[in-house]
Each structure stands twice: as structure tokens, then as C-alpha cells.
Structure 1
């Protein structure tokens, strides 16, 4: 399988997604837009598109962030979804996904940074791709916004601080507001980029400080992510 990553910033790295790609023998390609690498012109060689997170929002303009073209990324997501490709949006990527499919990004009720539980909905538990998640699962978070909901969207999981953690927009199209790809290495990159800001957020009930972020075990959620990705690609292969 050919996996294409859109990466907005060096500190919003694919993490466990790359580990899965290598472990399964898939091929990875990249649009590191923070290094001014272009988005793919053709989607023919993409089986799975993964759009990563970033400090931007879908409304961020080229004037505000010259390396980020929200409309172009939304168009790429929409093209892949319409062509029957598998598509995953993570955090900002999930918000772009919602916008690409006609749903406006919104502010989350709570800022969440750290590792906190999500709860699967009844429809989430009935979805074969998430059957191994159990009723609840502790996962990574780093956000203050959340994706919009289209008419056909299904909420797979929510948290106490955010009602939209995993959203199914289509059989092969999923938005993850949460960060199941976090690894210790990715956490260090995020801390380095955000430590001054974290020090101002001690009053938030769902924000962990660097020592707690470093102490979290991210291995179990990575394995659960791998299981989801395996099921997603099986579904994709079965529909080709």
C-alpha cells in the first residue's frame, strides 16, 4: 500500500503512523509543507492519505502562514474521498476533512493536552474497525478546536472535554481529533515547541505539564491505532 502524509510542522510528526508503515512493509511519501514540499498533483499512487495536525486552523490564510494552503488541502482530501481512497485526518487534518466535506470547524468545549480517556459511542462499538478499542481508551490530545459534522457523519468516540474525538465521515474516511500517533519522540518535539505556552495553562483541567506528558505510556494506544489501520486497509483492499 502507498501512504501519503501531509505534514504541516516538524513537531507534528506522523509518529506511530510511520512505525506502522514500516512494520507492514507499506510505502510512504510526504508533502512536508513546512519545508515547502508540494501537495501531490495526482492521487493515482495514493491508497491512504494521512493529513497531520498543526497550530493552524482551516481558516488560516496564506498571509498568516505562507506554507499552509487550507483550500488546496481541503481539495486534496475531497478528491481522495470521492475517488474511494482511504483518508485519515488528525487534529487539524480532521478539521480540514470536515470543512472539505461541508462541515465547519468549531471550538472544543475544553482545551486538551496530554493523555486522557475517550469513550466509544454505541455506533463506535458496533464498528468492526474499532471493536478492539473497548468501551474506553486512554489516548493523546493536543487541541482546542474540533471538526464539524456532516449530515452523514457518525461520532465514533468522545471525551469529557470534547464531544468529537473520532468521526466517521465515510466507510474509508475518518477524522481523529485525538492523537493516537504520539510517541515519546513526538512528545519531546511538541514540548520543545510549546513549553512556554504550557506554563500558562495550569488552570485548565485537561492540560498536562511536561513532566506528566513525558511520564505517559503511549504504547497501548499505538497498538490500538495499528489495529484500526489494519482494518481500514483491509476494507480499502476489499473495495478495490
Structure 2
């Protein structure tokens, strides 16, 4: 199986996704769109991962490569590829499915819980998670909920934290992939986003966060999507 990832900023990394790829010995390629690199053809990958970034999905016209990503996501959905959109990637996934991104009711930065929706209990991935569990947040916007998508998680600060479309397409507004090293990089580069807020932790708290259990959930999610792709299941 071949995985392709899209990265939006030099300080944004794959985090624990990289260790999962290495453990499974999958082939991998990536596009750093902020460098002007070209996106792949849809036939060149099996599993597409769209990472977060400082750009806003509310301003596609300011970042033309984001619209190109939306077009690629649409082609990947039509081709029954496995897709995971994280943070900005989840918002772009929602746009590709016809739902507009919106400002989140609250800016969320730090480790805070999300709550599973009733529909999550029958989701093949989310039924493996508790009804409430901690994740890492770093966002001001949120995805829209596309038609025929299933809302799987929400939080006190944001009503749309995770959704599924079909059986192999997921959007996570939150982060499961970030490692302590990633957090240090984001704190260094994004200090301007850490102004006080109801759901914003201080940089010292962020750096001390225990992310081990959160990272394990990332691996479970990736395992599930890889299994879906390898089993050749069709989108519902």
C-alpha cells in the first residue's frame, strides 16, 4: 500500500504517523505545498493524508493550492481511496464534499476532551474509543458537516470534531498525531495564537502534555483505514 501525505508548513510534521508508516513498512510520498510542489495523480496512491496548517480554509482564494487539494480529494473519493483529513485537512475534506468551513465557536489549543456522538457507537473505528477521550487541539476554524456524512465527535468548544463519509473517509478537527517534539515546534512558531482563551492552554502546559494515549488512538485510526483499503471494501 502506498501512502501520500500533504503538508502545509515547514513546522508541521507527520508526528506519530511517521512511526506507524515505518512500522508497517508502507511506501510513502509527500507534497509540501508551501514549497510549490506538485500534487500527485490520484492513481499514484492508495491512502491520502491531508495534514493541518496555519492557512485558513475560509480563504481558498488566498491559497490557490488549497483549491487544488480540494480537487484532488474529490478525485480520491471518487476513486474509493482511503482518506484522512486532520484539522485544516478535515476542513478541506468537508469542502470537497460540499460543506463550507466555518469559524469555531471557540479557539481550542491544548489537551481537552471530545465527546462521542450516539452514532459513534456503531462506527467501526470510534466504537473502539471511550465515550469521552482526550485529544490535542490547535484550531480556530472547523469543518462543515457534509450531506451523508456522520458526525462522530464534538467538544465543549466546537460542535464538529470528527466525521466519517462512506467507510474509508474520515475528518478529524483534532490532532492525534502530534508528539512532544511537534508541540515544541508549534509553540515556537505559533506563539501569536496562544493568547488567553477559555480553551487555550499556556505554552508550558502544552509542552508538558502526555500524548502517549492520544498517539495510540492515531495508530488505531490508521490501522482501520489501512485495513479498509487493503480489504477492498466499497464506499457505502
- Displacement, 1:59? 3.7
Aligned residues of 2:6 and 2:31 also touching (Cα < 8 A): yes
Aligned partner of 2:103 in structure 1 is: 107
**Superposition CA RMSD, Å:** 1.4
d(CA) in 2 for partners of 1:239, 1:140: 31
- Displacement, 1:176? 0.6
Look up the SS of the partner of 1:128 in the other structure: coil
- Displacement, 1:61? 4.7
Aligned residues of 1:118 and 1:139 also touching (Cα < 8 A): yes
TM-score for both structures, normalised by structure 2: 0.94
- Displacement, 1:45? 2.5
- Displacement, 1:130? 1.9
Aligned partner of 2:140 in structure 1 is: 144
Aligned partner of 2:80 in structure 1 is: 84
- Does residue 1:231 correspond to 2:224, yes or no? yes
Aligned residues of 1:47 and 1:85 also touching (Cα < 8 A): yes
Tell me the number of residue pairs that the alignment of Structure 1 and Structure 2 aligns: 233
In structure 2, relative to structure 1, the CA distance for the partners of 1:174 and 1:61 (3 Å cut) is closer
d(CA) in 2 for partners of 1:232, 1:73: 20
Aligned residues of 1:182 and 1:218 also touching (Cα < 8 A): yes
Q: Please, which runs of 5 or more residues in structure 1 have no aligned partner?
A: none
Q: Please, which runs of 5 or more residues in structure 2 have no aligned partner?
A: none
Aligned partner of 2:211 in structure 1 is: 218
Pairing of 1:56-135 with structure 2 (within 5 A): 56-61=55-60, 64-65=62-63, 69-135=65-131
Aligned residues of 1:125 and 1:134 also touching (Cα < 8 A): no
- Does residue 1:183 correspond to 2:182, yes or no? no
- Does residue 1:205 correspond to 2:204, yes or no? no
In structure 2, relative to structure 1, the CA distance for the partners of 1:218 and 1:45 (3 Å cut) is same
Aligned residues of 2:60 and 2:67 also touching (Cα < 8 A): no
